[in-house]
Structure 1
């Protein structure tokens, strides 16, 4: 039996969160850093797409497949064209991020352990990562664990963001490449939840068309494909003239349950397991990118690789109230989002969803929501917290 690898830092899991950390490490001067990655699979190719907003000119810009300065938000009553300046909406496909992470991994001389990790044990001075048989794989000063896990404390409201997307290709112009559809609420709405479609064009002949629900449970059978066919018709797309090149599926937790980002002094959790998923929407990417940047900067400064909180505590409370209001039927989901965009500049709404708005902006956003239903939801949330 070989001795475990001894390093300064180990990444447990090699998906999107770990790839963002590697990309961030590649931007810093880290002489002598000993690094290991433990994952049974090396991520390659196009297995997922991230869409996010922010200011142009970031280090991720060279990796983007597309970006848009305008987006549509559509309801049965009207279509809004929202100018996002100074922000922009952007699409990052997985392949260029995985390639960049692999290049940084090689440049840093990282050790790749292609085995499943089981326990991550902090003994007070080092962290030991073992395989399912209990064999030590890596000993490290710090561990960054991005493997999915359940909340440390179950939520009072537990929904899912679940979706299917088709990458559609046409021989003729079929899409508007200069403008994305952020949310189109003309889709049939579920009895309990909210649904929407969206269109992210890479060119006038290639786009991601997706159907998404925020609701308590995933759909059965071919319901996603049926919903996508219906949304394509609503959008005026001729599926007979389009080819489905790729299919993407996903399920992301939307819960006010509490994830433990620091289960022990030398173990830090990333991604959804570290609280990076926004409870009210399921959006995750921007918070993961912030976590990665924090970690790299802390290491470069000679400090422990501990990122800041992904969202302010007040945003977690606001999300819990919103989830409760939707779950108990106190507000209509389409009306709620329509009202937010109607009464606020789009960049304020998007920065709120990213967790970067100020106290005063949050108060303005709360004042623009349906006050009586949201007050009832806040009171119910307070009573549930007291009972717990």
Structure 2
């Protein structure tokens, strides 16, 4: 059977696009197939992001914070946000929300298969699995099939283990999210903790590193136990949930489209929507899928082209990552300098690709010129 759209991969990007298609009164009638080797029925990840006002998935936001704090060895700072809110969505809530909505549509099908190839044949996109082949006018791909080559020369890994812990006594301020705590050993590379309380007795504590390779499993557990005991001063708690993840932070060029494959559009990390300098993905996926819907509704090719500002933000990200990879400055020093010298709204606008040129200059002007100038020039030539 030929479909209008095939969504290859049912993670954040694929299901965000599906939900937006089904919310549109015209596009919701299209025949859609969603393919993933796994069913999304576990709480395998937590997405945290910032935005102004209410977003498309506001009803499933677990918690949100208007105050964030940043900690390093020589300073500690709390920021009260005006426009932005820092929000958390649980993976299982997101999956259930979209999949339950999709059940209303008989024109939407799901299949659990391993995708082996995506190509173009006779002016149609073709998805091959271990069992069969499917065709569509467009395939929206968020699998790793088209990832560029990544190695220690051009990439870091953001890897993390998070624990949701519950204490017997109230110890947390649920109104304050700890965005980064760099008061940890930096022996492996940029290393920090998140602490995101959702009540006075429950919080997500996450150990995060930007390094060339992952650690042994026990190292994450030891770091979390020590932090909870030594920094949070909590002795009596239970672990309700654990999660582990790896996100690429790479100079390799992820592309929204594949050369000569106009019927295949990359989404999510595959399309370059994981921010190279921070690993944040959720909100960039939302902006991209919204653009795709606008193009589809207007009968245009659904692959939003990069504008000048998009290219500028990519250059900023690549420059920062180049500085870290070349060891001219470490991640702790870079982020500590920015958070010590600039206001949170300016920082979040810059990191979220929502800043003005003036705000760009404000953020960059607090960093040392030489390492960033050298890295920036190198990335302009690449």
- Where 1:107 maps in the other structure, the secondary structure is coil
Residues 69-108 of structure 1: pairs in structure 2 closer than 5 A: 69-108=66-105
Partner of 1:22: 18
Change (3 A) 1:306 1:201: same
Distance 1:181 1:206 in 2: 14
Spell out, residue by residue over 1:239-287, the C-alpha distance to the aligned partner (whole angstroms, 9 max, x if none).
Answer: x411011111111101111012111101001111100111111111111
Residues 376-387 of structure 1: pairs in structure 2 closer than 5 A: 376-381=374-379, 385=382
Q: How many residues align?
A: 376
Residues 20-169 of structure 1: pairs in structure 2 closer than 5 A: 20-30=16-26, 32-109=29-106, 110-132=108-130, 135-136=132-133, 138-149=134-145, 151-152=147-148, 154=150, 157-169=154-166
- Where 1:65 maps in the other structure, the secondary structure is strand
Aligned counterpart for 1:202 among listed residues 198, 203, 224: 198
Aligned counterpart for 1:329 among listed residues 319, 327, 335: 327
Change (3 A) 1:21 1:381: closer
Does the alignment pair 1:272 with 2:264? no
Distance 2:66 2:145 in 1: 36
Change (3 A) 1:217 1:17: same
Distance 1:148 1:125 in 2: 23
Change (3 A) 1:141 1:168: same
Q: CA deviation at 1:174?
A: 2.1
Q: CA deviation at 1:381?
A: 4.2
Aligned counterpart for 1:178 among listed residues 152, 155, 175: 175
Distance 2:186 2:145 in 1: 30
Distance 2:273 2:263 in 1: 19
Q: Verify the 8 A CA contact 1:154 1:258 in the aligned structure 2.
A: no
Q: CA deviation at 1:376?
A: 3.1
Does the alignment pair 1:338 with 2:361? no
TM-score by length of 1: 0.91
Distance 2:198 2:150 in 1: 39
TM-score by length of 2: 0.92
Distance 1:216 1:81 in 2: 31
Aligned counterpart for 2:3 among listed residues 3, 7, 10: 7
Q: Verify the 8 A CA contact 1:33 1:108 in the aligned structure 2.
A: no
- Where 1:203 maps in the other structure, the secondary structure is coil
Distance 2:66 2:217 in 1: 37
Q: Verify the 8 A CA contact 2:256 2:303 in the aligned structure 1.
A: no
Q: Verify the 8 A CA contact 1:23 1:100 in the aligned structure 2.
A: no
Does the alignment pair 1:287 with 2:318? no
Distance 2:213 2:237 in 1: 30
Runs (5+) with no aligned partner, structure 1: none
Aligned counterpart for 1:228 among listed residues 216, 224, 227: 224
Q: CA deviation at 1:150?
A: 6.0
Q: Verify the 8 A CA contact 1:35 1:108 in the aligned structure 2.
A: no
Does the alignment pair 1:242 with 2:242? no
Distance 1:322 1:330 in 2: 10
The structure with the largest strand share of the pair is 2
- Where 1:334 maps in the other structure, the secondary structure is helix
Partner of 2:371: 373
Spell out, residue by residue over 1:23-46, the C-alpha distance to the aligned partner (whole angstroms, 9 max, x if none).
Answer: 222322125311111123220231
Change (3 A) 1:309 1:173: farther
Distance 2:283 2:306 in 1: 13
Q: CA deviation at 1:72?
A: 0.5
**Aligned-pair Cα RMSD in Å:** 2.0
Does the alignment pair 1:319 with 2:314? no
- Where 1:265 maps in the other structure, the secondary structure is strand
